[in-house]
Chain A
Amino acid sequence: GNSVTQMEGPVTLSEEAFLTINCTYTATGYPSLFWYVQYPGEGLQLLLKATKADDKGSNKGFEATYRKETTSFHLEKGSVQVSDSAVYFCALSINTNAGKSTFGDGTTLTVKP
């Protein structure tokens, strides 16, 4: 079946530190990949996405590259801010699953000043 595995949290960083949140996937086909962010008390919102191998999604200083050979979509940011504190979800969507999304368990990031 399809699954998404994220690095376990919580992750605590100091402001301006480098961030990596690992995400690997298993899929019976060729998925689209997404990172969603959930700020406290809110619903999820799209952070970035990539729809084919070697595509790089980017937004708000965050980046992730679709690596088909390693089935990975790691999220990175060069310098985090306190306002980046949130829960981050990796997800995939695939035709063989009627377009339904499969989500990872989420990684909680806390950035301290």
Chain B
Amino acid sequence: NAGVTQTPKFQVLKTGQSMTLQCAQDMNHEYMSWYRQDPGMGLRLIHYSVGAGITDQGEVPNGYNVSRSTTEDFPLRLLSAAPSQTSVYFCASSYGRRIYNEQFFGPGTRLTVL
């Protein structure tokens, strides 16, 4: 199993550009989520999904869109990049919504917006 994969690893954007961060998992996990990690702020939840066709907002959803057309894929779209979106982005998945199930994280995408 590849686990959770993310592409690209690094990306530089100019203000106003759009892009999609890709996330895929091969563990047949129902639950997937996107976090951003900023210095001194831990991980903050952007969007999450409890299954194909179902998504919901997390703590910091503004400026981001998601969709979940398949169990495996959960892309994150930046609509119009802003310097405040400079961050490291992690995708995670877990088996179902049971609270005792741990999350599996991808290696992250480091995004810089100029």
Binding site for B on A (CB under 8 A): 31-32, 34, 36, 41-46, 49, 51, 89, 93-95, 98-101, 103-106
Give the docked Cα–Cα distance between A99 and B33 (Å).
11
Tally the A-B contacts, defined by beta carbons under 8 Å: 58
**What are 24 pairs between A and B in contact, CB < 8 Å?**
A31-B99, A32-B99, A34-B102, A42-B108, A43-B4, A43-B90, A43-B106, A44-B90, A44-B92, A44-B103, A45-B105, A46-B103, A46-B104, A94-B99, A95-B99, A98-B56, A99-B31, A99-B101, A100-B58, A103-B42, A103-B43, A104-B42, A105-B41, A106-B42
Least CB distance from A34 to B in Å reads: 6
Question: Is B48 part of the binding interface, using a Cβ–Cβ cutoff of 8 Å?
Answer: yes
Give the docked Cα–Cα distance between A105 and B43 (Å).
7
Interface size in chain B (residues, C-beta < 8 A): 27
On whether the beta carbons of A44 and B99 are closer than 8 Å, the reply is no
On whether the beta carbons of A89 and B97 are closer than 8 Å, the reply is no
Q: A51-B100, A98-B97 are in contact. Are A43 and B107 (CB under 8 A)?
A: yes
Give the docked Cα–Cα distance between A101 and B10 (Å).
26
